[in-house]
């Protein structure tokens, strides 16, 4: 920015639209703008409407910068190029014909080279008690090239000025003269300062949070992003267009007023089930329901296995006609009770879910049913139960539709609303009254287990034999997830997040015997709900990572996590053994638990036989800080103990203490070179990009002067580690002061990059890579739909849009600066996503993709690369529109 001939700051213009207009014109002529209330030495010009007593104005005067009025920019635009600044230099009118130019004196001196600043040669002991004011005066003095000391100054310092506010007896220092801070203004302007009536102040508070040419109130930005996230969360995900064609059953032109069903009962008693069903088929009208007992008897006959395919087809038609003419979500409570009576096992009569579970089990040829059914599974009955499941799905889709499309009216003008969902068949089927605060009820758990079995069975059958049961169950689970989340997100978003996480972890546990390729190809691609897809696909990806010997970070899913953690994981999948797509060992529940890796430290004893030798003493003892023996051994460089622990099956190399520090963090912090080397050689390898309070293992090593460890880490992982920033936006290289050390780190990173390229140019396991690429593509696409990236935030008037403001904020501020003090984590992740998108547009994260993945010609992997290129293009478009 300093290389530009016209770099501006603005002071004293409080109206945002005026400032926005000025900055647009500056950019139109190729100039640059720096926001903020603090003076920036990189500027060449300061724009002010009149002489001010602000920090920016005084600092610009002391530094010899141009201080001009807004007309300088406006007239330059009319001219088509920058004009000479002289006529626009800020002035004070002292009479009808004379003016004073308070800045010109020091500007001309600096321009001629006679001085470097107005305070050149000053060595100031600054004794200002209030921290904010002290920082302001320090910046002002340094702008004029003064050297500023805090009290007490270094012993070698020769103080020329003591500046104090307030001046007290303690303000003296040796023989140096003591001045009030107003002496700064007197030195700059001499007698002119009397007319100027200066009382040095901070710049206007509205400028304390600026970004680009739009002043951004970061607390307001958090509120707007939170509201946007809530709006995103509350929108309907699943749309069922078929229900839009349903008619109000109480206002149809033709409907039966009464029907005599007495003959139907007689037919059933005589075993004339086909005739009874035909009589009911012709008597299904809006507002008219055949007696539930008759339908129950016909259902029982259908389950016995002797009914013809024609009877089963007609029975299904009767049930669908009932649903269309008397939808329970638009009907009085009595209709809901009617469906509850009909839709249960006619023999066991234990409720809707046991009946539904029995239908699923029969389709899976399982013996676990509410009562014995004809077996072996008869083809006609298989299709009948499959049709029943499709009917249940249609019923529940209708209830979800009624909840997500707003209010509706009940007969007689009684209003019904989304609150009516509490009495729905969905709630009554899958959640007891005591389970409604959790997504993972007993019935939902059982449904998920049956889903996994259906996926396995569908994968083993040829296309002609498939019932496509997994598709039906996935659609049903999608409806359940959307329904439950819709009821709870406004009350407690954290409860919704926990419910989805619990469901994903339960799925991870019960699917540990399923091939990840099958899960990717047979399950992930079929999920309709983006909420459910994010949870399930993320769980599957983590399962694959865990089985192949490495872990991913414990932070919530975000675009940054997918780029920095999941993309590198693809390279490891490509290098996995060819049999890695099959389950090779038992996987514990913690395989997908946030932040635990493949097993918990406490499980070491359980997974180790009693005869295991050389188990270190105190292996399972955790101290008050949450440190395991592995932590403590790494702190003390006890490499033999570290090797013993790593040799035990189930050891979690990334176990964290209560503060979040891993053993690798401790080894890097304490300079335990041998332990770092042992950890890096272990498989699964430790996670190198974990940060605690913004500190990664590499930054930990650099901050503590352990350069050998820093070089070792870079030679292991390459330059990708140099892209990580701490809370202040600083990379590891910026934490190193010596040029020679920075060069050594860069050489080590190049060695690591070269080694990684040589090791990862071939794909050893294409099926596993293709499965991982498919999952990651679905994750990115679903995340964009579900969370909404900044590109989706911009309305037609982009200058006033939330996305435009957010991107402008990130142009001059780091993600950490923007979100400092924020409490809403959804808003924080939106900022993080926007920053990641911008970094992708700059090519910063391209190194996360291994050469093997880039060069792979697999269909899924090539599609994933196209998605990444699309994200990169979106980021560039955002920047181009600024």
Q: Give pLDDT tens digits for 109-151.
A: 999 888 999 999 898 888 877 777 788 888 899 999 998 887 7
* Residue 204: DSSP 8-state: P
What are the pLDDT digits (tens) for 693-736? 888 999 999 999 999 999 999 998 888 888 888 877 788 888 88
Residue with structure tokens 């619990």? 502
The confidence score (pLDDT) of residue 578 equals 60
Higher pLDDT, 336 or 412: 336
Which string of b and e fits 239-264 if b means at least 16 CB within 10 Å?
A: eeeebeeeeebeeeeeeeeeeebeeb
Cα–Cα distances in Å, from 139 out to 41, 136, 468, 607? Answer: 10, 5, 71, 61
**Residues 110 and 162 reside in one and the same domain:** no
Within a domain: 230:
no
Residue 249 sits at the vertex; the CA angle it makes with 248 and 251, to the nearest 5 degrees, is 70
**Residues 732 and 854 reside in one and the same domain:** no
Q: Could you tell me which of 800, 787, 771, 802 has the C-alpha nearest to residue 864?
A: 771
Within a domain: 467:
no
- Residue 371: pLDDT band (50, 70, 90) is confident
Higher pLDDT, 9 or 799: 9
- Per the DSSP assignment, residues forming a β-bridge with 692 are 695
- Residue 209: pLDDT band (50, 70, 90) is very low
The confidence score (pLDDT) of residue 600 equals 35
- The sign one gets for the Cα dihedral 525, 530, 536, 538 is positive
- The sign one gets for the Cα dihedral 471, 473, 475, 481 is negative
**Residues 83 and 16 reside in one and the same domain:** yes
Percentage of residues of the chain with pLDDT beyond 90: 19
What's the rounded Cα separation, in Å, for the pair 542 and 551? Answer: 8
Residue 463 corresponds to which tokens in the numbers above?
A: 């296309």
What are the pLDDT digits (tens) for 646-666? 877 667 788 888 888 999 999
**Residues 736 and 635 reside in one and the same domain:** yes
Answer whether residue 465 shows pLDDT above 90: no
Answer whether residue 740 shows pLDDT above 60: yes
Answer whether residue 758 shows pLDDT above 70: no
The confidence score (pLDDT) of residue 466 equals 64
Answer whether residue 205 shows pLDDT above 50: no
* Residue 378: DSSP 8-state: P
Within a domain: 630:
yes
CATH code (residue 717): 1.25.40.20
Choice among 228-242, 317-331, 484-498, 601-615 with the minimum mean pLDDT? 601-615
Check if the beta carbon of residue 68 is closer than 8 Å to that of residue 45: yes
**Residues 80 and 51 reside in one and the same domain:** yes
CATH code (residue 43): 3.40.50.10190
Within a domain: 100:
yes
Within a domain: 633:
yes
Answer whether residue 690 shows pLDDT above 50: yes
**Residues 266 and 404 reside in one and the same domain:** yes
Residue 303 corresponds to which tokens in the numbers above?
A: 């389950």
Q: Which long-range contacts (CB under 8 A, 24 or more apart) does 485-491 make?
A: 485/233, 485/439, 485/531, 486/234, 486/236, 486/400, 486/403, 486/404, 486/418, 486/421, 487/403, 487/418, 487/421, 488/437, 489/230, 489/233, 489/234, 490/230, 490/234
What are the pLDDT digits (tens) for 161-197? 888 776 665 556 666 788 888 788 888 887 665 555 4
Domain that holds residue 60: 7-114+204-208
The stretch 772-782 carries a mean pLDDT of 91
Within a domain: 87:
yes
The stretch 408-434 carries a mean pLDDT of 64
Q: Which residue intervals of 419-513 are DSSP H helices?
A: 425-430, 442-460, 469-488, 493-510
Check if the beta carbon of residue 835 is closer than 8 Å to that of residue 845: no
Within a domain: 440:
no
Within a domain: 228:
no
Q: Could you tell me which of 457, 410, 452, 400 has the C-alpha nearest to residue 430?
A: 400
* Residue 366: DSSP 8-state: -
**Residues 372 and 424 reside in one and the same domain:** yes
The confidence score (pLDDT) of residue 777 equals 92
Choice among 37-41, 239-243, 311-315, 337-341 with the minimum mean pLDDT? 239-243
Check if the beta carbon of residue 164 is closer than 8 Å to that of residue 128: yes
Q: Which residue intervals of 270-330 are DSSP H helices?
A: 273-281, 292-303, 309-325
Choice among 36-50, 297-311, 551-565, 626-640 with the minimum mean pLDDT? 551-565
- Residue 408: pLDDT band (50, 70, 90) is very low
Q: How close are the terminal C-alpha atoms of the chain, in Å?
A: 16
The confidence score (pLDDT) of residue 241 equals 64
Q: Could you tell me which of 460, 458, 480, 483 has the C-alpha nearest to residue 469?
A: 458
* Count of C-beta atoms within a 10 Å radius of residue 472: 19
The stretch 759-768 carries a mean pLDDT of 76
What's the rounded Cα separation, in Å, for the pair 695 and 724? Answer: 9
**Residues 95 and 192 reside in one and the same domain:** no
The count of structural domains within the chain is 5
What's the rounded Cα separation, in Å, for the pair 779 and 799? Answer: 30
Three-state DSSP class for residue 149: strand
Higher pLDDT, 162 or 797: 162
Strands (DSSP E) found in 182-224: 210-211, 214-215
**Residues 389 and 319 reside in one and the same domain:** yes
**Residues 417 and 269 reside in one and the same domain:** yes
Averaged pLDDT score across all residues of the chain: 79
Check if the beta carbon of residue 183 is closer than 8 Å to that of residue 160: no
The confidence score (pLDDT) of residue 591 equals 43
Boundary (domain end) residue, out of 739, 759, 779: 759
Check if the beta carbon of residue 363 is closer than 8 Å to that of residue 382: yes
Out of 34-43, 81-90, 578-587, the most confident range is 81-90
The stretch 761-775 carries a mean pLDDT of 85
The confidence score (pLDDT) of residue 70 equals 92
The confidence score (pLDDT) of residue 369 equals 77
Check if the beta carbon of residue 152 is closer than 8 Å to that of residue 141: no
**Residues 245 and 366 reside in one and the same domain:** yes
The structure's pTM equals 0.61
**Residues 610 and 741 reside in one and the same domain:** yes
Residue 865 sits at the vertex; the CA angle it makes with 524 and 536, to the nearest 5 degrees, is 20
The confidence score (pLDDT) of residue 154 equals 73
Answer whether residue 249 shows pLDDT above 50: no
Non-local CB neighbours of 737 within 8 Å, separated by 6+ positions: none
The confidence score (pLDDT) of residue 873 equals 84
The confidence score (pLDDT) of residue 736 equals 87
The stretch 476-488 carries a mean pLDDT of 91
Check if the beta carbon of residue 326 is closer than 8 Å to that of residue 249: yes
Boundary (domain end) residue, out of 717, 735, 759: 759
Q: Which residue intervals of 638-717 are DSSP H helices?
A: 639-647, 663-670, 673-681, 697-703, 707-717
The confidence score (pLDDT) of residue 479 equals 92
């Amino acid at each position: 920015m300093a290389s530009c001939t016209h770099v501006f700051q603005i002071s004293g213009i409080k109206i945002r639209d005026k400032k926005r207009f000025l900055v647009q014109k500056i950019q139109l002529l190729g100039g640059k703008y720096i926001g903020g209330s603090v003076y920036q030495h990189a500027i060449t010009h300061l724009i002010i409407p009149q002489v001010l007593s602000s920090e920016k104005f005084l600092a610009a005067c002391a530094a010899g910068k141009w201080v001009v009025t807004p007309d300088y920019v406006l007239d330059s635009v009319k001219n088509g190029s920058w004009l000479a600044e002289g006529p626009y230099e800020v002035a004070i009118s002292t009479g009808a014909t004379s003016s004073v130019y308070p800045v010109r004196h020091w500007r001309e001196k600096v321009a001629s080279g006679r001085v470097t600043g107005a305070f050149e040669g000053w060595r100031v002991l600054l004794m200002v008690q209030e921290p904010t004011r002290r920082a302001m005066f320090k910046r002002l003095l340094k702008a004029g090239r003064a050297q500023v000391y805090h009290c007490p100054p270094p012993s070698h310092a020769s103080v020329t000025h003591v500046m104090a506010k307030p001046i007290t007896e303690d303000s003296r220092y040796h023989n140096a003269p003591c001045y009030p801070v107003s002496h700064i203004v007197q030195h700059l302007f001499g007698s002119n300062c009397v007319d100027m009536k200066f009382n040095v102040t901070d710049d206007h508070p509205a400028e304390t949070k600026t970004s680009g040419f739009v002043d951004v109130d970061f607390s307001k930005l958090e509120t707007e992003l939170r509201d946007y996230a809530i709006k995103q969360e509350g929108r309907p995900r699943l749309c069922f267009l078929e229900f839009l064609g349903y008619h109000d059953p109480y206002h149809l032109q033709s409907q039966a007023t009464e029907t005599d069903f007495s003959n139907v009962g007689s037919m059933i008693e005589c075993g004339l089930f086909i005739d009874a069903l035909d009589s009911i088929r012709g008597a299904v009208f809006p507002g008219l329901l055949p007696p539930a007992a008759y339908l129950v008897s016909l259902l029982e006959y259908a389950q016995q296995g002797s009914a013809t395919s024609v009877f089963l087809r007609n029975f299904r038609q009767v049930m669908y006609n009932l649903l269309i003419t008397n939808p329970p979500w638009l009907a009085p409570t009595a209709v809901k009770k009617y469906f509850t009576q009909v839709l249960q096992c006619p023999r066991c009569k234990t409720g809707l879910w046991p009946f539904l579970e029995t239908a699923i089990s029969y389709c899976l040829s399982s013996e676990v049913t509410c009562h014995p059914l004809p077996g072996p599974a008869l083809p006609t009955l298989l299709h009948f139960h499959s049709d029943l499941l499709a009917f249940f799905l249609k019923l529940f889709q209708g209830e979800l539709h009624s909840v997500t499309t707003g209010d509706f009216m009940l007969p007689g003008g009684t209003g019904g609303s989304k609150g009516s969902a509490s009495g729905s068949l969905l709630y009554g089927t899958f959640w007891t009254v005591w389970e409604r605060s959790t997504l993972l009820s007993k019935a939902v758990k059982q449904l998920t287990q049956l889903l996994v079995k259906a996926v396995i069975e569908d994968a083993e059958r040829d296309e002609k034999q498939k019932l496509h049961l997994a598709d039906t169950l996935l659609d049903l689970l999608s409806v359940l997830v959307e329904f439950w989340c819709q009821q709870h997100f406004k009350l407690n978003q954290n409860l919704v997040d926990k419910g989805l996480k619990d469901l994903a972890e339960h799925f991870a546990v019960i699917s540990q015997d399923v091939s990840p390729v099958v899960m990717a190809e047979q399950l992930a691609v079929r999920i309709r709900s983006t909420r459910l897809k994010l949870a399930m696909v993320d769980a599957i990806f983590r399962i694959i990572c865990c089985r192949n010997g490495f872990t991913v970070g414990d932070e919530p899913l975000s675009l940054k996590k997918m780029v920095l953690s999941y993309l590198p994981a693809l390279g490891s999948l490509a290098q996995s053994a060819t049999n890695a797509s099959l389950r090779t060992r038992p996987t514990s529940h913690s395989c997908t638990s946030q932040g635990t890796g493949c097993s918990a430290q406490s499980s070491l004893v359980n997974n180790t036989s009693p005869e295991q030798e050389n188990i270190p003493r105190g292996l399972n003892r955790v101290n008050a800080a949450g440190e395991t023996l592995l932590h403590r051994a790494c702190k003390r460089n006890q490499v033999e103990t570290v090797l013993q622990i790593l040799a035990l099956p189930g050891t979690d190399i990334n176990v964290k203490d209560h503060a979040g520090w891993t053993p690798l963090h401790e080894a890097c912090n304490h300079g335990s070179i041998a332990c770092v080397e042992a950890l890096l050689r272990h498989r699964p390898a430790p996670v190198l990009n974990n940060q605690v309070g913004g500190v990664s293992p590499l930054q930990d090593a650099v901050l503590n002067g352990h350069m050998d460890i820093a070089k070792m880490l870079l030679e292991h992982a390459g330059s990708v580690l140099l892209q990580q920033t701490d809370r202040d936006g600083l990379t590891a290289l910026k934490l190193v002061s010596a040029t020679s050390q920075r060069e050594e780190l860069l050489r080590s990173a190049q060695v690591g990059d070269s080694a990684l390229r040589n090791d990862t140019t071939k794909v050893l396991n294409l099926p596993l890579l293709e499965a991982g690429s498919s999952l990651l593509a679905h994750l990115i696409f679903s995340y964009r739909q579900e969370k909404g990236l900044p590109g989706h935030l911009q309305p037609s008037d982009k200058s006033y849009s939330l996305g435009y403001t957010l991107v402008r904020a990130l142009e001059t501020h780091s993600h950490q600066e923007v979100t400092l003090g924020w409490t809403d984590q959804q808003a924080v992740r939106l900022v993080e996503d926007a920053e990641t998108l911008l970094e992708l547009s700059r090519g910063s994260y391209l190194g996360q993709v291994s050469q093997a993945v880039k060069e792979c010609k697999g269909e899924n992997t090539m599609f994933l690369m196209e998605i990444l290129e699309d994200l990169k293009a979106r980021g560039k478009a955002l920047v181009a529109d600024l």
